[in-house]
Amino acid sequence: MTLLNSPRTRRRRLGVGAVAAGLLATLLTVAPAGATPDPGDPDAAAPRSVSKSDAAAAREAVERGEIPGPGEVVHSANIEHLANVPKDALPGLNTDIAFQGRYAFAGNYDGFRIFDISDPDSPKTVSQVLCPGGQNDVSVSGNLLFLSTDSSRSDNSCNSTSQPATEKSSWEGMKVFDISDKKNPRYVAAVETACGSHTHTLVPKKRDVYVYVSSYSPNAAFPDCRPPHDGISVIKVPRKAPQKAAVVNFPVLFPGEGPDGGGNPGGPTHPGVSKTTGCHDITVLPSKDLAAGACMGDGLLFSIKDPENPKIIDQVQDNENFAFWHSATFNQKADKIVFTDELGGGSGATCDEATGPKRGANGIYDVQGKGDKRKLVFRSYFKIPRHQAATENCVAHNGSLIPVKGKDLMVQAWYQGGVSVWDFTDSSRPREIGYFERGPHATDKITTAGSWSAYYYNGRVYSNDMAMGLDVLKIDDKRVKAAERVRLGELNVQTQPDYFD
């Protein structure tokens, strides 16, 4: 990685305007890398062709300096790129990240990797665990690590192979590891769940850890994943006996008549909107006994006072602009929720002028009222202001709060759109205050790449790029400075901490 001596400003709009005022770009060069997804996972797509005109437009935009070249890194003047750790023994797509003390735990379609981040500017690999089973969403609590498997497998071992979901013997669900020895994680339990575990969320208690398992897309031909699939699996894991982990409930979140329950019917009733057949992701705020669910065609607010029996408070839809409710983030006061729309499933080039600023974006909602009478009230959309090439998969994805008291700041991944730092303190007028991104992974096809998750933890931003590895960023901005004083012992972003308790 070479820092160029002459920083220069790049336009990132394919000829339709300048980058947001005040965000100067510093350029670095990084060699591109490839990704080998788990062949059994439909979301880990191979490179997809684009039209000759789109490929030519991408190449010409690079030549004119309107977008960075392949592998080239640009960022705003208030972002510093401290480190990049390329993928190593795990060739699959990098996914989510969790943190504990001086360690970061990075998921990958082929397993997970543990980093020592005691020196955040120079992460060191502690161990890598080969355990294929996309997407390997990862969380940690105490000495336990939780790993989601949403890829139909021959069995629950880490030596399993892909196997059709039409076969009754196939396995999908949650795996549990003992990480008391970070150099030698030990596989201790497995729990099969209906339709697998696309993502999961921890609700930690003193003696037990509850795990909310989100999954979707049932099929009458799948013995273990038949419709209606209108709820989530709740697993109870005893901390001292994780081998006794088991599903204790399957709460129905979308009660209703018909084969698919009471969620959003999707198309053709609502063209372009996903039919709700489960949830994609859930975020909990244990200090407030609240959860927010991103459930395909619906956004939910619910109470988790009784963690085994969550109770719906409010349910909203956006059938004009939201195609797939993907994830959710509370602000610290729990009077706002940011929902993301993963238009195109993460494989499409949706950060362009034709798609516009309201689709494939964040939807910001105020939470009004008290108790079980609270309502979600839409306020605005936020999308990165830099248009991407037709060969770049780009859409709103995983992010976290930046803990600054009295402000609502967030860092967020946008796949090949990079990492955005933005302010939604005024929920009606969100704005970007910094960014980091690479040029297109390729200019002749769409290749699955870019930042899957970008999270703020103890003074740094960690971004797990699907193809390029782990990036570490520092935000040098007075609006974010106070966050550097906040220190956590553990962070699973979907289990939001009370930063200022």
Kindly report the CATH number assigned to the domain that includes residue 447: 2.130.10.10
pLDDT for the residue numbered 46: 62
pLDDT exceeds cutoff 50 at 300: yes
How confident is the prediction for the chain on average, in pLDDT? Answer: 90
Q: What is the mean pLDDT of residues 94-106?
A: 98
Is 38 a residue whose pLDDT tops 70? no
Predicted TM-score (pTM) of the model is 0.91
**Within-domain flag for 462:** yes
* The pLDDT value given to residue 3: 25
Tell me, yes or no, whether 46 lies in a domain.
yes
Looking at the domain assignment, is residue 9 inside a domain?
A: yes
Does 349 reside within a domain?
Answer: yes
Write the CB contacts of 406 (distance below 8 Å, at least 6 apart in sequence).
none
Kind and range of the H or E element at 63? helix 52-63
> Is 41's pLDDT higher than 50?
no
Which residues constitute the domain of residue 153?
A: 2-491
Domain count, the chain: 1
The two beta strands, 103-108 and 186-192, are unpaired
pLDDT recorded at residue 393: 97
What span, in angstroms and rounded, lies between the C-alpha atoms of 78 and 36?
Answer: 33
Q: Is residue 463 part of a domain?
A: yes
Q: How confident is the model over 412-469, as pLDDT tens digits?
A: 999 999 999 999 999 999 999 999 999 999 999 999 999 999 999 999 999 999 999 9
pLDDT tens digit sequence for 349-402:
999 999 999 999 999 999 999 999 999 999 999 999 999 999 999 999 999 999
Confirm whether 390 is domain-assigned. Answer: yes
The answer to whether position 497 is within a domain reads no
**pLDDT at residue 456 in the model:** 98
Over 80: is that where the pLDDT of 10 sits?
no
User: Is residue 350 within 8 Å of residue 394, measured between CB atoms?
Assistant: yes
| The pLDDT of residue 197 | 98
Laid out side by side, the sheet with 186-192 consists of 135-141, 144-153, 171-178, 186-192
Structure-model confidence comparison of residues 289 and 35, the more confident one = 289
> What's the full length of the chain, in residues?
501
Ranking 23-27, 42-46, 86-90 by mean pLDDT, the lowest is: 23-27
pLDDT in tens, 256-275: 876 667 899 999 999 999 99
Task: Examine residue 501 and state whether it is found in any structural domain, yes or no.
Answer: no
